[in-house]
Amino acid sequence: MDPMPPGLCGDCRHSRVIVNRRGSRFYLCERSRTDPAYPRYPRLPVLRCAGYEPTPAEADRDQRSRP
């Protein structure tokens, strides 16, 4: 079975991928360290999130695709 797609967490600068001993991947939200409004391990896929910020590479690509 394919793993659950992460949605926004997949390219958010605040996410960190955790792999356990059995090879399962989890997305840890670093915002949860300072803001209790964010779950430590968000339920995937995250489709909307006020705290989402693209990683620098994604942000660069978004800038280039603008007219």
Which residues contribute to the site for ligand SF4 (CB under 6 A)?
8-9, 12, 14-15, 29, 31, 38, 42, 46, 49, 51-52
CB of residue 21 to ligand SF4, shortest distance in Å:
23
| Residue 46 vs 67, nearer CB to ligand SF4 | 46
Dihedral of the alpha carbons of 20, 26, 30, 35, in degrees to the nearest 10: -120
- Rounded to whole angstroms, the Cα distance separating 5 from 13 reads 17
The half-sphere exposure of 35 on its side-chain side, counting CA atoms within 13 A, is 8
Identify which of residues 55 and 66 has a Cβ nearer to ligand SF4 in the complex: 55
